[in-house]
Amino acid sequence: MSCGCRSENNSHPKYKVLQLLGEGVYGKVAKCRNRVTGELVALKVMKIDKNMEYY
């Protein structure tokens, strides 16, 4: 599953990516499972615009 996570297998050290839930202008939302507790969560992977100003 491709969600834009940093590793090649599209997983995070703390969370296993299960499913892409949605995609919008600012990023993607994925259904994930906490590898330790088994808790289901939704994680938003934000797109980074290097030209955008942040406050």
Q: What's the rounded Cα separation, in Å, for the pair 21 and 1?
A: 11
The annotated binding site for ATP is made up of 44
State phi, psi for 7 to the nearest 5 degrees.
-85, 160
Q: In sequence order, what are the residues at sequence separation of 6 or more whose Cβ sits closer than 8 angstroms to the Cβ of residue 16?
A: 32, 33, 35
The annotated binding site is made up of 44
